[in-house]
Amino acid sequence: MRRRPTPPLPQRNGLDPARLRLPAEGEWATVRDHLVERLPRVAPERIDMMLREDRIVGLDGPIRGDTPYRPDSYVWFHRDLPVEVPVPFDIGIVHRDDDLLVVDKPHFLATIPRGQHVMETALVKLRHDLGLPELVPAHRLDRVTAGLVMFVVRPELRGKYQTMFRDRLVHKEYEAIARHDPGLELPCVVRSHIVKERGVITATEVPDVAPNSETLVELAERRGEVGRYRLQPRTGRTHQLRLHMSGLGVPILGDDFYPVLTEKPLDDFTRPLQLLAKVLAFTDPVTGEPRRFESRLELSAWNRPGEWAAG
């Protein structure tokens, strides 16, 4: 495989520059012509300004307005940042060594830059705050889910740890708060076929199709009409735990997606989804030693139900 070239632009506030590979075929006379067509959401005047300010560069230096188009070459630039509402919760450090960083990600904070969330993401904040510019995630956690996320400090080890997650060699336990149903027989194993279409915000379960997801659901504790559940996913489909709990008739408290999609403003930090990535355990692929990390966070609907209900 061809190795990606090193970006000629440095990080900005912990954020890598965007990289575009110019197509092998095309009739554009200049790089500028291609960028205007390639980036329809960016006004041509804005592209021209970035070119004048030497903010778009190739391996040989800044791209000019008349730089000829060269197939299979690369250009880099820093995107204009969206206006973001600061997430008013801290990231907790659970473990740090020369190879790994394990943190407690709060609710409402995305793991990596995507869409409207760029600076207000765990990766960018940790790179900047801890002075770790080469930090990379070993896996991801939904923005609205709190709990353990593991990052790799040395990029040359990224493949080993990401492969471990891909091959399901990591034991994961989640904690969820939901309504208690005395008629629900637990523990139980939920299996279904989950489909997530690109551009559609929610996932769906397709009946009468071979399962591609599996979750062990247990009731850990009950307080009146509310239960604290232990969830052990054996696969990692998008929104798997939320779909499976909803399918059992006990949707997770604070779930704005399932069973009914409810739009929630990005600056509304009330009633977070009561789902916590509680445990990560595995045999370290580098050292061969057993590792186990446990979140220090608590779910407010269980420990402070009045505060959670009041928002």
Q: pLDDT for 228-244, tens place per residue?
A: 999 999 999 999 999 99
Task: Return the SS3 of 118.
Answer: coil
**Secondary element (H or E) of residue 100:** strand 100-105
The yes-or-no answer on residue 142 being catalytic is yes
Per-residue pLDDT tens for 29-40?
Answer: 999 999 999 999
As a three-state string, the secondary structure of 64-85 is CCCCECCCCCEEEECCCCCCCC
Question: What pLDDT is attached to residue 1?
Answer: 44
Reduced to 3 states (helix: H, G, I; strand: E, B; else coil), residue 14 is coil
Q: What angle do CA 211, 258, 139 make, to 5 degrees?
A: 65
Residue 44: phi and psi, rounded to 5, are -55, -35
Between CA 175 and CA 179 the distance in angstroms is 13
pLDDT (0 to 100) of residue 177: 98
Render 251-288 in DSSP notation, one character per residue: PBTT-SSSSS-----TT--SS---EEEEEEEEE-TTT-
What pLDDT is stored for residue 118 in this prediction? 87
Closest to 272 in 3D by CA, of 247, 286, 254, 296: 254
pTM of the predicted protein model = 0.87
Indicate the length of the chain as a whole number: 311
Catalytic residue among 66, 97, 142, 267: 142
Q: At what angle do helices 31-38 and 44-52 cross, to 10 degrees?
A: 140
Short-list 280, 289, 276, 95, CA closest to 169: 280
| Helix, coil or strand: residue 162 | helix
Give the DSSP letter of residue 15: B
Query: 198 falls in which pLDDT band (50, 70, 90)?
Result: confident
Q: DSSP 3-state assignment of 12? A: strand
Instruction: Output the pLDDT for position 212.
Output: 96
What is the DSSP track for 239-252? THHHHHHHHTT-PB
- Asked if the model's pLDDT at residue 3 lies above 80, the reply is no
